[in-house]
Amino acid sequence: MASQSLYTKLESLPPALKEEAKNFIEFLVEKSKKKKAESMTKKPAFGSLRGKIHLSEDFDAPLDEFKDYM
């Protein structure tokens, strides 16, 4: 919804409903902040990346660049 349209609709409300709308908007802002905070502190479940990370067969093989040092 466009901001101008929302503002026009808010301005057409009586004062008591404007207050109620303000309280509801503040509630939604707080709810959004809590949800964001929860998602940032939520720890991933153990094993949630199983099958998504693959290492090559020669992962621990010596590198050609270091042959002189071995």
Give a yes or no: residue 21 inside a domain. yes
**pTM attached to this predicted model:** 0.50
Q: Which of 18, 16, 15 is nearest to 7 (CA)?
A: 18
48 pLDDT higher than 90:
no
Give the number of other CB atoms < 10 A from CB of residue 35.
Answer: 10
- What is the Rg, in whole angstroms, of the alpha carbon atoms belonging to the chain? 28
- Name the domain count of the chain: 1
pLDDT in tens, 21-38: 999 999 999 999 988 887
Domain that holds residue 14: 1-37
Give a yes or no: residue 58 inside a domain. no
Give a yes or no: residue 63 inside a domain. no
Please state, in angstroms and rounded to a whole number, the distance separating the CA atoms of residues 20 and 14.
10
pLDDT in tens, 51-70: 998 888 988 888 889 888 87
Quick one: pLDDT at residue 41? 76
Give a yes or no: residue 3 inside a domain. yes
Give a yes or no: residue 64 inside a domain. no
Give a yes or no: residue 7 inside a domain. yes
Give a yes or no: residue 53 inside a domain. no
